[in-house]
């Protein structure tokens, strides 16, 4: 048989290599040695490390290890550039972004080849996915720059942003960070990952050639220490990080109390759910994309297959057949499916995890097929016979390893899907759109793909729930992550809290036993676990009542009650609105009594504060069914429904001042959006809130939706911030205690809002709208394909 006839018989692909010449020529033009790009110039290379091609181990270039002085120089340049850059009109800034987008398109093949050489990903992916999406991001954000003042009228840029990115999508992660930052008027210092700095350096040259003003984009290369120098630099106003959850937590702790803006895009262990009525062949193709795209080194990889038991055997058999046809090899070959992993250390890490999983009982299947002898290659693997506790099910592997489990009912699928500390993405396959759309909101993840996977677009936000981080990249949410309210800089320090009243020397002297307010937990009044009370004093130091001294146990009970009440989050927005209106109405009936109570505690007339509290409840009742999502039209045959969802259980610690409004202004937006709350009212003047129990009870608020624990704000805040059952934390109090709350929040990476010792005048109408609504919610994008 001649060769052509043989190929017809076997249908084998021949080699189709992409030439590396142009990329090599670019590297040569820099002498294969790079300094940083700071203030529009290349610095002289310092101490360097090698960047290697993981497909063959060849050294590509020497990269400079960024020092603290390098970071300093970059911050100086970015600071100097900030004023003129942010003062440009949006149109002018947009034109630069447009010029960058055009230049990336023009040199897209060079970028793609260089990316593949540096990272090991198949050229098919860098050419057809990464680089086109990079260009799309700059185009999209050119438009945001121009429309910024209309769409975000009261917002200003942060200033200088430090951006740290991983190696799995080197240029794409750069685009996700730099495009919105620049559109908003920030200047940036970006550190690429140590394994993959080259396309960021090529990008620097593109910026230079596009005439971007010097200092607007600075690229500082290096490893973890360089990243740390960026995170801890006092001249940086916002940190945007994409990488592992472990480093994300370290960055959250390092930035606690600094007032720096922070967004974290972290790891994942995303479920890929296949129901028995799915189009199985499509689901298999989707799965190939979900777990073997980029060798599985994808934060949102569908790495946990959950397949309905009735089709499990058939599905797994088909999957194995499909795995046998995946081609592993030279990533510069255009007909390769799976390229090289990023570095030998990554291959070792995956092998170690696999060994642990196997020791715990996992069975590993790898299809036969050739794999290059040298370079960082691994065969695609399918892992079965695992329990939810198996290392391979629980840990992010970040490699070409799929773990399969089965489920019987939709409820079980949801429970398994959510049985992870992560919450980045999920995929649902079913031909029954009702079922798919029933499941999507139940999955705790920032992105849900229905009958598809790995859809991305610049107009659609991307980001995680839970320990996958917070903040979004892309679309309106992504823009707002680079903006802050203009009025924030006018905030003054809050007046020092009055010294805590001295306790009566003899606890028996306090009298007023009839006035001891209890806690309010799960819809019931309950005695404090400590069995101690604290006196509440009037401004003259006279005891006017007592409240319970809440402790760790009371907080635990309250969190448990709040978790049990999470059905509130799926209660119709209309119903939540009615209940908040009712609460307002019932408070209004008793306005004189509440005003008198404020006067008794503070000495000030409480009439206006009660009226404002009623008005604030009305305001958020009004928002409950209006602060909602959007439908995006990405350039695919799909719509993406951006759904606004509550965070879950919120710990809210009210400020010392304004005993009633201070709490109402914070719990009203949280409740309106479907969160349940553990509230710690003002330590000094808690009686306005303990009086509220009866109002709550008569207003049809379901038990456990609002729980109230009285006592020392700071120690209760610490317990709440450390509690894994609390999803978000708002704290109004001193700078020191705010730092403590932010640091303690790393246990499960809660979203936090703290007042940092500043005076937020909660009576101001600016707090009647999206300022707190946006902080009480997170956006989930549900991608729904169409086409007959």
Tell me which residues touch ligand NAD (CB under 6 A): 164-168, 191, 193-194, 223-224, 227-228, 231, 242-244, 247, 250-251, 265-268, 299, 396, 398, 424, 464, 468
Beta-ladder partners of 517: 547
Strands 238-242 and 160-164: parallel
CB of residue 239 to ligand NAD, shortest distance in Å = 9
Distance linking the first and last C-alpha atoms of the chain: 43
Q: Are 276 and 314 in contact (CB under 8 A)?
A: no
The position carrying tokens 């404002």 is 612
Both tokens assigned to 415: 């429970």
CB of residue 398 to ligand NAD, shortest distance in Å = 5
Which CB sits closer to ligand NAD, 469 or 711?
469
Which CB sits closer to ligand NAD, 244 or 385?
244
Which CB sits closer to ligand NAD, 341 or 660?
341
Catalytic residue list contains 299:
yes
Which CB sits closer to ligand NAD, 114 or 621?
114
CB of residue 396 to ligand NAD, shortest distance in Å = 6
SS3 382: strand
Which CB sits closer to ligand NAD, 166 or 711?
166
CB of residue 547 to ligand NAD, shortest distance in Å = 43
Residue (of 156, 159, 162) closest to 254 by Cα position: 162
Which CB sits closer to ligand NAD, 645 or 768?
645
CB of residue 346 to ligand NAD, shortest distance in Å = 8
Q: Residue 610's CB: how many other CB atoms inside 10 A?
A: 25
CB of residue 462 to ligand NAD, shortest distance in Å = 6
Please identify which of the residues 265, 477, 645, 722 carries the catalytic annotation: 265
> DSSP class of residue 513?
G
Please identify which of the residues 125, 194, 207, 299 carries the catalytic annotation: 299
What HEC string does 103-164 produce? HHHHCHHHHHHHHHHHHCCCHHHHHHHHHHHHHHHHHHHHHHHHHHHHHCCCEEECCEEEEE
Burial zone of 22 (CB within 10 Å; 0-12 exposed, 13-18 middle, 19+ buried):
middle
Q: What are phi and psi of 190, to 5 degrees?
A: -110, 135
CA angle 529, 530, 535 (to 5 degrees): 115
CA angle 318, 324, 330 (to 5 degrees): 140
The position carrying tokens 């090289």 is 340
The position carrying tokens 């937020």 is 760
Q: How many helices (H) and strands (E) does the chain have?
A: 28, 33
CA 274 to chain centre: 26
Angle between the N-to-C axes of helices 131-151 and 108-119, in degrees from 0 to 180, rounded to the nearest 10: 110
Contacts of 261 (CB under 8 A, 6+ apart): 158, 161, 237, 238, 239, 481, 484
Which CB sits closer to ligand NAD, 197 or 557?
197
Q: What residue spans of 531-660 are helical by DSSP H?
A: 552-564, 573-589, 591-602, 607-624
Q: Are 55 and 330 in contact (CB under 8 A)?
A: yes
CB of residue 357 to ligand NAD, shortest distance in Å = 18
Which CB sits closer to ligand NAD, 108 or 223?
223
CB of residue 472 to ligand NAD, shortest distance in Å = 10
Q: What order of strands is seen across the sheet that includes strand 519-521? A: 524-526, 519-521, 706-708, 676-680, 649-653, 728-731, 751-754
> DSSP class of residue 18?
P
Which CB sits closer to ligand NAD, 94 or 475?
475
User: Which residue number places its CB atom closest to ligand NAD?
Assistant: 227
CB of residue 174 to ligand NAD, shortest distance in Å = 11
Which CB sits closer to ligand NAD, 92 or 348?
348
- Give the whole-angstrom CA distance, residue 444 versus residue 212: 40
Q: Are 152 and 483 in contact (CB under 8 A)?
A: yes
- Give the whole-angstrom CA distance, residue 718 versus residue 713: 9
Catalytic residue list contains 300:
no
CB of residue 618 to ligand NAD, shortest distance in Å = 38
Which CB sits closer to ligand NAD, 165 or 677?
165
CA angle 613, 616, 619 (to 5 degrees): 155
SS3 739: helix
- Give the whole-angstrom CA distance, residue 735 versus residue 754: 8
Contacts of 198 (CB under 8 A, 6+ apart): 27, 51, 60, 61, 114, 115, 117, 118, 170
CB of residue 441 to ligand NAD, shortest distance in Å = 21
Task: Give me the active site residues, please.
Answer: 265, 299
């Amino acid at each position: 048989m001649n060769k052509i006839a043989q190929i017809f018989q076997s249908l084998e692909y021949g080699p189709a290599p992409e030439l590396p010449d142009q990329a090599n020529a670019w590297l040569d033009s820099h002498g294969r040695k790079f300094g940083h790009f700071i203030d529009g110039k290349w610095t002289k290379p310092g101490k360097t490390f090698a960047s290697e091609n993981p497909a063959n181990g060849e050294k590509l270039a020497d990269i400079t290890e960024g020092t603290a002085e390098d970071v300093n120089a970059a911050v100086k340049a970015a600071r100097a550039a900030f004023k003129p850059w942010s003062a440009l009109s949006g149109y002018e800034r947009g034109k630069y972004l447009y010029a960058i987008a055009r230049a990336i398109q023009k040199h897209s093949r060079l970028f793609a080849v260089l990316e593949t050489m540096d990272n090991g990903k198949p050229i098919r992916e860098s050419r057809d996915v990464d680089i086109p999406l990079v260009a799309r991001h700059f185009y999209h954000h050119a438009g945001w720059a121009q429309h910024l003042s209309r769409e975000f009228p009261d917002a200003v840029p942060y200033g200088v942003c430090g951006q740290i990115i991983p190696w799995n999508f080197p240029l794409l992660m750069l685009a996700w960070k730099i495009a919105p930052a620049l559109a908003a008027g920030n200047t940036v210092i970006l550190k690429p990952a140590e394994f993959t700095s080259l396309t960021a350096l090529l990008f620097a040259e593109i910026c230079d050639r596009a005439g971007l003003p010097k200092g607007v984009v600075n690229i500082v290369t290096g490893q973890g220490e360089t990243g740390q120098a960026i995170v801890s630099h006092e001249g940086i106003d916002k940190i945007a990080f994409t990488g592992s959850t472990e480093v994300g937590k370290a960055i959250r702790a390092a930035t606690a109390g600094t007032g720096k803006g922070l967004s974290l895009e972290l790891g994942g262990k995303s479920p890929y759910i296949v129901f028995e009525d799915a189009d199985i062949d499509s689901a298999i193709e989707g799965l190939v994309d979900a777990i073997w795209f980029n060798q599985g080194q994808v934060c949102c990889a569908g790495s946990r297959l959950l397949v309905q038991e009735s089709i499990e055997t058939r599905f797994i058999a088909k999957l194995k057949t499909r795995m046998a046809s995946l081609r592993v090899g030279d990533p510069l070959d255009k007909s390769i499916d799976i390229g090289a992993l990023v570095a030998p250390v990554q291959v070792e890490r995956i092998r170690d995890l696999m060994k642990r999983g196997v020791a715990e009982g996992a069975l590993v299947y790898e299809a036969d097929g050739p794999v290059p002898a040298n370079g960082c290659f691994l065969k695609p693997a399918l892992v079965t016979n695992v329990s939810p506790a198996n290392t391979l099910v629980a840990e992010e592997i970040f490699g070409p390893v799929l773990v399969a489990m089965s489920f019987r009912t939709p409820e079980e699928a949801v429970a398994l899907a959510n049985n992870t500390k992560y919450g980045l993405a999920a995929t649902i396959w079913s031909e029954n759109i009702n079922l798919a759309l029933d499941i999507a909101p139940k999955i705790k993840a920032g992105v849900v793909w229905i009958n598809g996977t790995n859809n991305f677009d610049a107009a659609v936000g991307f980001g995680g729930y839970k320990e996958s981080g917070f903040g979004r990249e892309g679309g309106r949410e992504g823009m707002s992550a680079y903006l802050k309210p203009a009025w924030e800089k006018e905030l003054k320090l809050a007046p020092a809290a009055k010294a805590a009243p001295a306790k009566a020397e003899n606890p028996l002297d306090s009298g007023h036993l009839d006035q001891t307010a209890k806690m309010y937990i799960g819809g019931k009044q309950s005695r404090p676990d400590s069995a101690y009370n604290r006196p509440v004093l009037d401004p003259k130091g006279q005891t006017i009542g007592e409240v319970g001294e809440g402790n760790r146990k009371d907080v635990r009970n309250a969190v448990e009650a709040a978790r049990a009440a999470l059905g509130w989050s799926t209660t119709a927005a209309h119903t939540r609105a009615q209940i908040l209106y009712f609460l307002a109405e019932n408070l209004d009936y008793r306005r004189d009594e509440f005003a008198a109570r404020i006067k008794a505690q503070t000495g000030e007339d409480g009439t206006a504060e009660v009226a404002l509290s009623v008005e604030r409840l009305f305001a958020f009742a009004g928002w409950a069914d209006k602060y909602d999502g959007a439908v995006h039209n990405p350039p695919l045959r799909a719509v993406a429904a951006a759904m606004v969802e509550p965070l879950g259980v919120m710990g809210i610690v009210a400020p010392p001042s304004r005993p009633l409004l201070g709490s109402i202004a914070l719990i009203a937006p949280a409740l309106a959006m479907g969160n349940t709350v553990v509230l710690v009212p003002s330590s000094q003047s808690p009686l306005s809130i303990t009086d509220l129990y009866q109002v709550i009870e008569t207003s049809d608020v379901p038990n456990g939706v609002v729980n109230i624990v009285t006592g020392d704000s700071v120690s209760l805040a610490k317990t709440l911030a450390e509690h894994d059952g609390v999803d978000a934390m708002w704290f109004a109090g001193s700078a020191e205690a705010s730092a403590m709350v932010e640091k303690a929040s790393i246990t499960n990476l809660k979203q936090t809002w703290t007042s940092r010792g500043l005076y937020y005048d909660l009576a101001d109408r600016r707090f009647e709208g999206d300022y707190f609504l946006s902080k009480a919610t997170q956006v989930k994008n549900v991608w729904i394909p169409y086409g007959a």
